[in-house]
Amino acid sequence: MNEMADTRTIPCVSRVRGRVAVPGSKSVTHRALILAALSEEECVIENALDAEDTRITAEALRRLGVRIHWHGTTIRVRPAPHRWISSPEPLALSNSGTSLRLLMGLAAVGRGTFVFDGSTRLRQRPVGPLADALKPLGVGVRFLGRDLCPPLELQTNGLHAGETLVDASESSQYLSSLLIAATQAEGPVLVRWKDPVASWPYVTITLSMMTEVGLEFSHVEPRAIRVPAPQRLGGFRLEVEGDCSSASYFWAASALTRGDVVTYPLHSSSLQGDCRFLEVLASMGCRIQWEDRGVRVQGPDRLQPVHVDMNTMPDMVPTLAVVCAFADGPCTIGNVAHLRIKESDRLDAVATELQRLGVFVEQYPDGLRIQGPPQRGGAINTYNDHRIAMAFAVLGLKVPGTMIRGASTVSKSFPEFWAALHDLLQQSRQENA
């Protein structure tokens, strides 16, 4: 796409006010697709996120023989005749790290040789710890390119019973992938992990969904889960909850503009770790109020500085960094070294783009120190990273002359983001008139 055609100029607004419908959770939709593929009967997934990443997972499952019919936000999934169709052509996963990690576990329960590949950036994202954890269970992984990254070839004759240990300090998805796959092994599997686990709340989501669809497991030690296997998984119907990550951009917009925004459908009992971003905003002075099917965020007159460990919600770091740029004092964000192997090196990307606007930013190996405010607008590079694009779009509501290059990258997780932002600004103009 032409660079100018893919650039968005963000209009400033004095105060955002309105209601925003957010799409289904990306994390839940990915896991629902994987679980449905393992079922022996038809499954229905409602309020699914229809976005680039979830379509990548669905298409890979089709290539493996799973029958998938997508109707709006409803997906019907029928099991493959056998596990799985093995093709000499790689499963192309673009830059979806979630797809890669969850699909490696799913492929391991089949029989055959499976090749995974993706974009230039995916080829820089390591999966060595997951490969190491699959080996004791009888799965061979051969890396065909650079270091311990895709392209890779996975060879399996089914997942064996036994015990394995995973280092999930880079990604909780290594652990989630193993736990789901272990239910389909030839016998019981003991899954152990090392501390720390990056983004533990995502493992909680995985375990909750396993329970919801009828799969069994037991915590036998603080860092070990025993999974009986093989387990039969029957058909299920599952409704995907609204995505807190997508909602966070509108929470931040309200925080920056003394706004009043309701996002829905969301509920206070959500297991998504990113919903805890509301607690951070509350500590900065925002007023948070849960309603029947959503949450209202009202921004303060002045934002208080914070010093936050963001290990459990790393995807919120770009959004928090933008809010911190307008706080009354210096802020620090820490314990997120694993952000350097996301869709971009998110710590470096956030620091570089904030500095471009005149914000003081100091980088650490695992975090940032930020002191604003921005001194000027400018063209923001997104590094083909959806979260950089959406976070800096929020900043543009306060900083004249902010433009987002590579605006279409939001399609990875929130294709309707620009339309939702436009609609909120329209509501705001009417409310503020």
| Residue type at position 285 | G
* Separation between Cα atoms, residue 308 and residue 305, nearest integer Å: 10
Check whether 27 is labelled as a binding-site residue: yes
* Separation between Cα atoms, residue 375 and residue 361, nearest integer Å: 13
Say if residue 332 is exposed, middle or buried (CB neighbours under 10 Å; 0-12, 13-18, 19+): middle
Residue with tokens 């298409």: 59
Counting Cα atoms < 13 Å in the Cβ hemisphere of 119 gives 14
| Residue type at position 385 | D
* Separation between Cα atoms, residue 282 and residue 297, nearest integer Å: 9
Active-site residue identified among 50, 167, 243, 315: 315
Check whether 87 is labelled as a binding-site residue: no
How large is the C-alpha radius of gyration of the chain? 21
Check whether 344 is labelled as a binding-site residue: no
Check whether 135 is labelled as a binding-site residue: no
Tell me the two tokens of residue 116: 């995974």
Check whether 315 is labelled as a binding-site residue: yes
Check whether 342 is labelled as a binding-site residue: yes
Check whether 25 is labelled as a binding-site residue: no
Check whether 398 is labelled as a binding-site residue: no
Check whether 412 is labelled as a binding-site residue: yes
Check whether 268 is labelled as a binding-site residue: no
Q: Which residues contact 145 (CB under 8 A, 6 or more apart)?
A: 123, 151, 152
Mapped onto helix, strand or coil, the DSSP state of residue 163 is strand
Mapped onto helix, strand or coil, the DSSP state of residue 190 is strand
Check whether 119 is labelled as a binding-site residue: no
Check whether 363 is labelled as a binding-site residue: no
Check whether 96 is labelled as a binding-site residue: no
Whether the CB-CB separation of 33 and 45 falls below 8 Å is answered with yes
> Any catalytic annotation for residue 328?
no
Whether the CB-CB separation of 168 and 129 falls below 8 Å is answered with yes
What residues form the annotated binding site? 26-27, 31, 97, 125, 171-173, 199, 315, 342, 346, 387, 412
What positions carry a catalytic annotation? 315
Cite the annotated binding site for 3-phosphoshikimate by residue number.
Answer: 26-27, 31, 171-173, 199, 315, 342
- Binding-site residue positions for phosphoenolpyruvate: 26, 97, 125, 173, 346, 387, 412
